[in-house]
């Protein structure tokens, strides 16, 4: 999955939607994003990032073609999809 795919998926969701990562079947709050020239790294943490906070971080980027990777320690896991729960205001990257 590329960053522009994630932006498209989240576009119509409420800005207070919380973002999570599903790593090896376990859900973790997405709390940190690192974007380099070639990739977008998503890190789990204690507090879930909202769509609003994520958009503030990436809105001025001109390059949205970076591949998305979920980080589990030093292990990089490629993100391949997203599960959206409108009732719970959450989106989980897998």
Length of the chain: 94
pLDDT digits (tens, 9 = 90+) for 5-56: 888 888 889 999 999 999 999 999 999 999 888 899 999 999 999 999 998 8
Instruction: Examine the pLDDT at 91 and tell me if it is beyond 80.
Output: yes
25 burial (CB, 10 Å; 0-12 / 13-18 / 19+) is exposed
Domain boundaries, the chain: 3-93
Would you place residue 60 in the very low, low, confident or very high pLDDT band (cuts 50, 70, 90)?
A: confident
- pLDDT of 37 reads 81
- What pLDDT, on the 0 to 100 scale, is given for residue 12? 87
According to the model, what pLDDT value does residue 64 have? 73
E-strand ranges in 1-94 read 18-23, 26-35, 39-44, 67-72, 75-78, 82-85, 90-93
**What DSSP designation does 66 have?**
P
> Any bridge partners for residue 21, and if so which?
28, 93
pLDDT of residue 13: 92
């Amino acid at each position: 999955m590329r960053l522009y795919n994630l932006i498209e998926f989240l576009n119509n969701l409420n800005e207070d939607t919380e973002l999570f990562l599903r790593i090896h079947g376990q859900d973790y709050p997405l709390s940190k994003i690192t974007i380099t020239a070639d990739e977008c790294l998503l890190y789990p943490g204690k507090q879930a990032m909202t769509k609003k906070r994520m958009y503030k971080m990436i809105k001025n980027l001109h390059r949205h073609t970076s591949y998305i990777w979920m980080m589990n320690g030093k292990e990089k896991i490629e993100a391949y999809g997203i599960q959206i729960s409108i009732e719970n205001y959450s989106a989980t990257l897998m």
